């Protein structure tokens, strides 16, 4: 067992941390308060190659691995949950399915601009009546000659307003048992009949674009079918397994930020003639946060390592997503407590960590769904 990062992974960590500290951190409060997607920051991230870390160079990527990408999500999430979420969604949901399941032509046409940072992608799975029950998808794609005609509605879709391509799930027929066949189809956002609106007023991750998509008789060529028509459901389950690693990494970043802010404040804040870090009550809180952060990091990195080594990682990615995101919420909550009244104030940032962390217990499979996945992996 080797817990050391490779030279390349260490270099990526330093590069992303430097960028996050210099470019993102000074604007993190503004991104949250104005609820404005920082498109210029994503353009810079694209130029640095961050949007293509886990993809081969032949498709415009950086030729890195899942662990390097998870480290990048962690470092960005450490300074801004909104930017971290949009980054994670662009790579793991908007681009990865095309790399996993796309034809060579689809990779060249659709993946290359995403991996090279020239465009953003988005993944349209959730619907008003199909959240945790993704099998309840109502969007339909009907064959008409050489085309699909798609009708339906998607909600809570990250990055859609700024995306060039959408991957949407749609019912394309029935199997021999009479159950819906759910397929994945690539839809350009400028296709006729695609309407994208972003009117959600969110509690947290306010600078990450969250949109509603209406598909009204949208016509795309059948060649835009992603992967096997009859395996769309299993394909997006695999996509979500990988996506959970990135959301876990985002939770890890927020938890790490909570620890750093709390430790710094506890050493500076004086009460009863000494730093509050001298009080056992505060020390125990800091010790608990530090312990859970390190345990979360081990689980996130292990699940990424398993994926990189082509080993089963469904259970471990659920472990990582569940534990790291719940750790993020607990760590941020305790950070506010350590800061006292100041923790409730926006300028001290820890209140933002709590608001941002809450979504991570919901998105890409709720904590309850993660427990269900784990139980099924145990054979329950």
Burial tier of 273 (Cβ tally within 10 Å: 0-12, 13-18, 19+): exposed
CA dist 155 and 160 (Å) reads 10
Report which of 53, 182, 57 is spatially closest to residue 107, judged by C-alpha positions: 57
Left, alpha or beta for 352 (phi > 0: left; psi -120 to 50: alpha)?
alpha
Report which of 199, 252, 309 is spatially closest to residue 73, judged by C-alpha positions: 252
Burial tier of 131 (Cβ tally within 10 Å: 0-12, 13-18, 19+): middle
- Cite the active site residues: 364
Q: In degrees, to the nearest 5, what angle opens at C-alpha 330 toward C-alphas 37 and 15?
A: 45
* Helices and strands in the chain: count of H runs, count of E runs: 13, 10
Is the separation of the CB atoms in 248 and 88 below 8 Å?
A: no
> How far out from the chain centre does Cα 97 lie?
14
Report which of 5, 6, 7, 94 is spatially closest to residue 42, judged by C-alpha positions: 94
């Amino acid at each position: 067992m080797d817990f050391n990062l490779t030279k390349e992974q260490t270099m990526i960590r330093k590069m992303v941390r430097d960028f996050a500290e210099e470019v993102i951190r000074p604007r993190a409060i503004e991104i949250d308060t104005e609820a404005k997607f920082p498109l210029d920051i994503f353009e810079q991230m694209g130029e640095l190659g961050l949007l293509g870390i886990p993809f081969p160079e032949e498709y415009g990527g950086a030729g890195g691995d899942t662990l390097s990408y998870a480290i990048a999500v962690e470092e960005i999430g450490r300074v801004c949950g909104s930017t971290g979420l949009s980054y994670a969604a662009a790579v793991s949901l908007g681009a990865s399915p095309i790399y996993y399941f796309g034809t060579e032509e689809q990779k060249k046409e659709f993946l290359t601009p995403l991996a090279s940072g020239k465009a953003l992608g988005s993944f349209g799975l959730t619907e008003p009546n199909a959240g945790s029950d993704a099998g309840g998808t109502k969007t339909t794609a009907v064959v008409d000659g050489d085309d699909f005609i798609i009708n339906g509605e998607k909600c809570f879709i990250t990055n859609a307003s700024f995306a060039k391509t959408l991957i949407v799930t749609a019912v394309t027929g029935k199997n021999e048992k009479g159950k819906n066949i759910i397929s994945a189809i690539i839809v350009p956002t400028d296709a006729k009949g695609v309407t994208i609106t972003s009117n959600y007023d969110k509690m947290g991750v306010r600078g990450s674009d969250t949109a509603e998509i209406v598909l009204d008789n949208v016509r795309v060529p059948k060649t835009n079918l992603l992967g096997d028509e009859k395996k769309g459901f299993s394909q997006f389950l695999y996509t979500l397994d990988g996506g959970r690693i990135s959301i876990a990494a985002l939770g890890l970043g927020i938890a790490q930020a909570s620890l750093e802010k709390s430790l710094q404040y506890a050493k500076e804040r004086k009460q009863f003639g000494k730093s509050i870090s001298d009080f056992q009550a505060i020390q125990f809180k800091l010790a608990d946060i530090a312990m859970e952060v390190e345990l979360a990091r081990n689980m996130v990195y292990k699940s990424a390592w398993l994926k990189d080594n082509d080993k089963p990682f469904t259970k471990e990615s659920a472990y990582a997503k569940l534990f790291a995101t719940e750790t993020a919420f607990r760590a941020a909550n305790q950070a506010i407590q350590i800061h006292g009244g100041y923790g409730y104030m926006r300028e001290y940032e820890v209140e933002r960590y709590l608001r941002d962390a809450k979504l991570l217990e919901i998105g890409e499979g709720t904590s309850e769904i993660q427990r269900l996945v784990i139980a099924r992996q145990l054979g329950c």
